[in-house]
């Protein structure tokens, strides 16, 4: 009889682990972004709209997404890759709680913070607005 409570508690914990990062990501919208100048090249500093891609080497969902982001960065120039293992403090200031995550920045304001993998068409649509 006690195992039902254990299973229900475990299911609740799993659901909360999925929902909490999404709630925190939504709360970050509209806030000024942390200083990115050290990570940007000259062309990116002039961009009004940037997409910041947070990834980590041990992230399974990042493996198929990283080549897509590399391709978009080469094409458009307004994509910034941030390795969370090397820039943990920056990821925390953005409110990133999991990888992969995408932060859409417009005019120095965080417009969206998306947690989880996205397809190439989804990322392109995000970049185009």
Per-residue pLDDT band for 17 (boundaries 50, 70, 90) equals confident
- DSSP class of residue 97 equals -
Q: For residues 19 and 99, what is the distance between their CA atoms, to the nearest angstrom?
A: 14
* Cβ contact 72:118 at 8 Å: no
Instruction: Show which residues are catalytic.
Output: 59, 62
Per-residue pLDDT band for 44 (boundaries 50, 70, 90) equals low
Q: What is the CATH number of the domain that holds 110?
A: 3.40.30.10
Q: How many domains does the chain have?
A: 1
Per-residue pLDDT band for 55 (boundaries 50, 70, 90) equals very high
pTM over 0.85: no
Q: Mean pLDDT across the chain, nearest whole number?
A: 83
Which pairs from 75-80 meet CB under 8 Å and 24+ separation?
Answer: 76/127, 77/43, 77/44, 77/47, 78/44, 78/47, 78/49, 78/50, 78/51, 78/127, 79/50, 79/51, 79/53, 79/127, 80/36, 80/39, 80/40, 80/44, 80/50, 80/51, 80/52, 80/53
| 1: pLDDT strictly greater than 60 | no
What is the per-residue pLDDT for 69? 94
Q: What residues make up the domain containing 30?
A: 2-128
């Amino acid at each position: 009889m006690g195992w039902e409570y254990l299973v229900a508690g475990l299911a609740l914990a799993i659901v909360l682990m999925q929902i909490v990062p999404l709630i925190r990501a939504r709360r970050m919208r509209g806030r000024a972004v942390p200083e990115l100048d050290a990570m940007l090249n000259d062309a990116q500093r002039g961009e009004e709209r940037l997409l910041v891609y947070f990834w980590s080497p041990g992230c399974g969902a990042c493996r198929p997404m990283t080549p897509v982001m590399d391709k978009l960065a080469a094409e458009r120039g307004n994509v910034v890759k941030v390795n969370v293992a090397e820039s943990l403090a920056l990821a925390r200031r953005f409110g990133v709680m999991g990888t992969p995550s995408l932060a859409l920045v417009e005019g120095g304001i965080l417009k969206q913070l998306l947690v989880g993998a996205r397809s190439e068409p989804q990322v392109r649509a995000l970049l185009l607005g």
